[in-house]
């Protein structure tokens, strides 16, 4: 990134480890293997950012990355925020206890976290959402959390099929959802627009945030611009 810089800020094993500085937070969640690490790296413009989250000791923790120098909407200066990497779910091989501890920590983060401005709920555009995805979406709806569905790996689908999948995902979306965005962490498609949604959620009051449609493009990190097709 030309202006913004992302650095690992620490892992939390319990709510007492969550940051206390009140910076806006954007959480990333999704089934394991949807491309969560790849997407974090694509947003940060660095390959290594989310590698730290896949360290064996950290995959079950909530990992915080501080991003400084993020251009605010409308060119009103720069600010800092956290990317919050929540544990992936749906490990078929994990024991019930392990699965429950993932969920407990993720829920302890998501429920009542004051600085949380947006959840980026990542799904694999190639697959129908499974039962766990549907449960999570219902849970986000029920708790009134603002979330954006990022349908990743659109590069692996014909364009029309990707659009059809995005429309299917948008069907029945809850009132606090901000929409569905097709992205490709590997090819960079949709990354600029995802950044726009993130900066709007982090720095604009909720009433000023558009639910759909592109925002202005200024102050994009250089890597995101480089990716655009």
Q: Which residues bind ligand GDP (CB under 6 A)?
A: 32-38, 88, 152-153, 155-156, 184-186
Residues ≥6 apart with Cβ < 8 Å to 49: 6, 8, 40, 41, 65
At 12, list the tokens.
């939390």
Minimum distance, C-beta of residue 117 to ligand GDP, in the bound complex (Å): 21
In the complex, residue closest to ligand GDP by CB: 35
Which of residues 184 and 219 has its CB atom nearest to ligand GDP in the complex?
Answer: 184
C-beta closer to ligand GDP: residue 34 or 110? 34
CB 122 → ligand GDP: shortest distance, Å?
Answer: 7
Please report how close the Cβ of residue 90 comes to ligand GDP at its closest, in angstroms.
Answer: 10
Q: Which is nearer to ligand GDP, 53 or 219 (CB)?
A: 53
Q: Which residue has the tokens 């950290």?
A: 58
Work out how close the CB of 77 gets to ligand GDP at its nearest, in angstroms, rounded to a whole number: 31
Provide, rounded to whole angstroms, the least separation between the CB of residue 164 and ligand GDP: 18
C-beta closer to ligand GDP: residue 23 or 43 = 43
Nearer to ligand GDP, 35 or 71 (CB): 35
Q: What is the DSSP letter of 122?
A: E
Count Cα neighbours of 109 within 13 Å in the Cβ-side half-sphere: 31
Record the tokens describing residue 2, joined without a space.
């030309």
b/e map 86-114, b = 16+ CB within 10 Å: bbbbbbeeeeeeebeebeebbeebbeebe
- Cα separation, 157 vs 223, in Å, equals 24
Identity of the residue, 47 or 211, whose beta carbon is nearer to ligand GDP in the bound complex: 47
Q: Report d(CA 38, CA 90) in Å as an integer.
A: 18
Q: Which residues contact 138 (CB under 8 A, 6 or more apart)?
A: none
Closer of 32 and 176 to ligand GDP (Cβ):
32
Nearest approach in angstroms of CB 78 to ligand GDP is 28
Shortest CA distance to 212 belongs to which of 229, 226, 200?
A: 200
Q: How far is the CB of 148 from ligand GDP (least distance, A)?
A: 16
Structure tokens at 8: 């690992």
């Amino acid at each position: 990134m030309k202006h913004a810089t992302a650095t690992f800020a620490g892992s939390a094993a319990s709510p007492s480890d969550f940051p206390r500085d009140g910076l806006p937070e954007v959480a990333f969640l999704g089934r394991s293997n949807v491309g969560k690490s790849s997407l974090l790296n694509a947003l940060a413009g660095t390959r290594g950012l989310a590698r730290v989250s896949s360290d064996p000791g950290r995959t079950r923790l909530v990992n915080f990355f501080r991003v400084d120098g993020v251009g605010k909407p409308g060119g009103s200066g720069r600010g800092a925020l956290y990317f919050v990497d929540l544990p992936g779910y749906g490990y078929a091989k994990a024991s019930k206890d392990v699965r429950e501890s993932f969920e407990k920590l993720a829920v302890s983060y998501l429920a009542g976290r004051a600085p949380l401005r947006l959840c980026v709920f990542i799904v694999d555009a190639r697959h129908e959402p499974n039962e766990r995805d549907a449960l999570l979406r219902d849970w986000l709806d029920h708790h009134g959390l603002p979330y954006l569905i990022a349908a990743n790996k659109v590069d692996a689908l014909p364009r029309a099929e990707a659009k059809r999948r995005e429309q299917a995902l948008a069907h029945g979306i809850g009132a606090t959802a901000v929409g569905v965005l097709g992205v490709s962490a590997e090819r960079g498609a949709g990354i600029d627009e995802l950044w726009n949604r993130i900066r709007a959620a982090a720095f604009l009051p909720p009433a000023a945030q558009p639910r759909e449609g592109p925002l202005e493009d200024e102050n994009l990190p250089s890597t995101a611009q480089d990716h655009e097709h």
